[in-house]
Chains A and B, each alone.
Chain A
Amino acid sequence: MMELVKIIFAAVLVNNCVLVQFLGICPFLGVSKKMDSAVGMSLAVTFVMALATAATWPIQYFLLDPNGIGYLQTIVFILVIAALVQLVEIILKKYMPSLHKSLGVYLPLITTNCAVLGVCINNITDGYGFVASIMNSVGTGLGFLLAMVIFSGVRQRIEHNNIPESFKGVPITLIAASVLALAFMGFSGVIDGIFGA
């Protein structure tokens, strides 16, 4: 149990998927302008990450590895994720239209989100078990949420400031992200401090 809590904390703070592992930077820069869209996008990402891990982990261990076709990992995973995202969208549209309205718009964008594929592959490479993999995915998603929410707050402040002409738009956003990444570096070692090495 302690092990699982540790995995979540590590994924949220220490190995934050955007600011430390550099996964999912496109949505991090693109969707973070407004707080509500940032939250919606991150929740959809977290949900899809957990679901995708639940689908890809058994495929790797029960289908690909026993047949010696582990090298097909990339193709199979991306197709499974793409199909899964479509399926989730159809189900949400049919049974939960209100949720579909708030999260559904972000779903097509998630197929090509490198954080989702990245976390699925990392779970396999790091040799996590099934439950640990799901926990790691949820933690990664929550880390994404945390980074997005903080960053959308930062960006709203940037909007109203007087920025040198050539820094307007993308450059100042990236430099703000760099400062945030600097802050997150302070979390390295926190896990050992809390749980004991």
Chain B
Amino acid sequence: MEKKSKLSILLNGIIKENPTFILVLGTCPTIAVTTQAFNGLGMGLCVTLVLMCSNIFISLLKKIIPDTVRIPCYIVVIAAFVTIVQFLLQAFLPDLNKSLGVFIPLIVVNCIILGRAEMFANKNSVIDSAMDGIGMGLGCTLALTLVGTIREIIGNGTWMGITLTANMITPFSLLILAPGGFFVFGLMIAVMNKLTKGGVKRKSFDCEGCPTASACQNKEGGCN
């Protein structure tokens, strides 16, 4: 692999390989928690923290972890950091913890994190991995906040809890319900497709973008 500058690794995650819009990883929290912009932001920052720490740790341990059991090892590392984040939220942001609910422990199985461990952290240096973690995490945060912003403004007439249009126009509350989540997310990806004119290599739904690809025997791509 060619040597890349630290900045380009960081920017790679935010724009070029945005984990949510381009790689389409971690779709569950993207739709579930983005009923409010603040929840999206909080979720994104939690993912960033876990992703950065787990990338650093896995990159440090890459020579020690035996290749055959690496996926379980990664999961343990990730689960440990998720537990730490859970504690931090309970102590300092109990409201956010309550509204994110089950999706905090579910960061463990967020495919962005396992995917980056498998695709980046176990091949690159510690600093590069940390940069990749921060970049990918911020890309995810940006995406979640954006989706949350659209859904909250149109669906509830507020943004980050501040009343904007709620008194002037009746909010179209469907957008903060389940169908709105799928709809806005789909629309955002379509907009991204249009902006990048399909110039970005799409990996979504391919075995390449799947963190469990190495363990998967379904080589014919039945999941595609």
Contact = CB atoms under 8 A, between A and B. Distances in A.
Contacts of A24: 28
A148 interface: no
Given A75-B83, A118-B106, A109 B179 contact: no
Interface in B179-224: 179-183, 185-187, 189-191, 193-194, 198, 202, 204-205, 210-212, 215-218, 222-224
12 contacts: A26-B28, A31-B223, A105-B218, A108-B212, A108-B216, A111-B75, A117-B108, A168-B193, A169-B193, A171-B186, A181-B181, A185-B178
A172 interface: yes
Taking chain A's interface residues, is the majority helix, strand, or loop, or is none over half, making it mixed? helix
B109 to A, nearest CB: 5
Given A117-B105, A171-B193, A185-B178, A109 B212 contact: yes
Given A166-B194, A174-B189, A33 B224 contact: yes
Contacts of A20: 178
Given A29-B27, A79-B76, A171-B187, A112 B223 contact: no
A22 interface: yes
Interface of B: 24-25, 27-29, 31-32, 71-72, 75-76, 79-80, 82-83, 86-87, 101-102, 105-106, 108-111, 114, 174, 177-183, 185-187, 189-191, 193-194, 198, 202, 204-205, 210-212, 215-218, 222-224
Contacts of B28: 22-26, 114
Contacts of B83: 71-72, 74-75
Nearest to B114: A112
Contacts of B79: 74-75, 78-79
B87 A78 contact: no
Interface in A24-49: 24-27, 29-31, 33-34, 37, 41
B43 to A, nearest CB: 12
Interface of A: 19-27, 29-31, 33-34, 37, 41, 71-75, 77-79, 82, 104-106, 108-109, 111-114, 117-118, 121-122, 125, 164-175, 177-179, 181-182, 184-185
Nearest to A168: B193
Given A26-B28, A71-B87, A74-B82, A121 B102 contact: yes
B41 to A, nearest CB: 18
Contact of B204 (A113, A167, A170): A170
